[in-house]
Amino acid sequence: MKAQPAPDETARIVVLGRQGSGKGTQAARLAAIYGVAHVSTGDAFRAAAGSGSELGRTLKSYMDRGELVPDDVVVGVIREHLFGPDAPAGFILDGFPRNVGQAEALAEMAGKRGLDIVVDLEADTQEVLHRMAGRRVCTKCGANYNVVDNPTKVSGQCDACSGPLAQRDDDTEDAIRRRLEIYETTTAPLIDWYRDRGLLAAVDAMGDVATVTARVVAAVEGVRQAKTIG
Ligand SMILES: [Zn+2]
């Protein structure tokens, strides 16, 4: 048994990983272990949109129209949320940055203190496709299942209401492959960018949740010890 690391309210960690890598789950677990805020782009967006500030209203106008939010607005929201007067000392960032431009803005905002580590959760493409293509939803009550790791008792039939199961339109293998390709072209260059700056830790994201968390914590602790010694 490895000892649990000590909480550190100043830890600044970015978690990268494509859909199906378990990024949100691992970010939440890291936040609990280190005692810092788990900040997802979605949470920051909702807080800003509900704040009534000028930036919040601009953001809301893009969200209401279902349009892609421009980088300067995304960066502004993160700046207010993470580097404003009431900002927490540390954070686990999930969903930001998404491209090299946003990473450059984050580096500028983080200043001399910088980031501790950028964790890249590496998930095998076949496994991600398999997992995501297995998702099913009940058409009557909305319950979620997965034929791979959370099947119903009777195939194709909801456990709760016996309603028929279906696959979401955006969960077909073609749609998933398209999303993975978009991730490769826009977010994958980030991996190189952070590696060049000595901040990247690639972590194998295959396996059960607790095993992956143990690997992530080992990577983070490795960096922290190196900093203490150096
Ligand atoms: Zn149902």
Residuewise pLDDT in 10s, the chain (230 residues): 456 788 888 899 999 998 888 888 899 999 999 999 999 998 899 999 998 899 999 999 998 998 889 999 999 999 998 998 888 889 999 999 999 999 999 999 999 989 999 999 998 888 888 888 888 999 999 998 988 878 999 999 999 999 999 998 888 888 888 888 888 888 889 999 999 999 999 999 988 889 999 999 999 998 877 776 64
Q: Is residue 155 part of a domain?
A: yes
Answer whether 11's CB lies under 8 Å from 90's CB.
yes
Q: Is residue 4 part of a domain?
A: no
Q: What is the pLDDT of residue 103?
A: 97
| Domain of residue 180, residue span | 12-36+88-229
Task: Quote the ligand 1 centre to 161 CA distance (angstroms).
Answer: 4
Q: Is residue 62 part of a domain?
A: no
How far is 96 from 14, CA to CA, in rounded Å?
8
Q: Is residue 150 part of a domain?
A: yes
Q: What is the pLDDT of residue 1?
A: 46
Active-site positions read 23, 98, 135, 168, 179
Q: Is residue 48 part of a domain?
A: no
Q: Which of 39, 76, 45 is closest to 61 using CA atoms?
A: 45
Task: Quote the ligand 1 centre to 43 CA distance (angstroms).
Answer: 28
The sign one gets for the Cα dihedral 69, 122, 145, 40 is negative
* Residue whose structure tokens are 């914590």: 217
Q: What is the pLDDT of residue 17?
A: 92
Q: Which of 125, 110, 72 is closest to 194 using CA atoms?
A: 110
CATH of the domain at 186: 3.40.50.300
Question: Which whole-number Å values give the CA distances from 175 to 11, 16, 106, 205, 230, in the listed order?
Answer: 36, 21, 30, 22, 47
Q: Is residue 44 part of a domain?
A: no
Q: Is residue 57 part of a domain?
A: no
Q: What is the pLDDT of residue 223?
A: 84
Q: Is residue 55 part of a domain?
A: no
Name the domain count of the chain: 1
Task: Quote the ligand 1 centre to 153 CA distance (angstroms).
Answer: 12
Would you give the DSSP letter of residue 164? B
